[in-house]
Structure 1
């Protein structure tokens, strides 16, 4: 049984719409008069199309950060590891260095994987 107000389907014998609360009435009187709105059409975007999904500035920005962040971690990690004044800074330097190294290796492996 369909609601005459919103067009949503309800259980047979329902007196009120479960979606909008409108009175449904007898099953014999109710018929679906309004069609459901058509679904929005699918948009197919080819990867090389002009005006693609991602702007060129965003592409270059993400690429720069992807390269820059592990490099900063490696440089700062080595600096703190070698020139640290306290054991805490040495531990922090090692963490930054090996963390950036791990991220760089994982990123390289993932970017070179064939799909």
Structure 2
């Protein structure tokens, strides 16, 4: 079944689109087992930000803090999902903390 909202192909037993979460009208009944499978199918999301990228940018911010600052602002501004916004906050706050730390140890603060 294709989603009328975004055109993504979904299982026939799905009640909601796996891409845009639009309610699919094709689910009119069926057995309990097929409804449970639909819920599991909808709930499984592809991870949008890998752990390697998340911690790699944070580690790179230790050397060049402006990497985390810029990436944090970009992910907060363009965050399509809550996970991207959370990662953007991590990078932004982490890089600000690193900048303040460097200022304190250099005596400029």
In the superposition, the TM-score normalised over structure 2's length comes to: 0.41
Q: Would you tell me which structure has more helix in proportion to its own residues? A: 2
| TM-score of the pair, normalised by structure 1 | 0.39
Computing the radius of gyration over CA atoms, which structure comes out larger, 1 or 2?
1
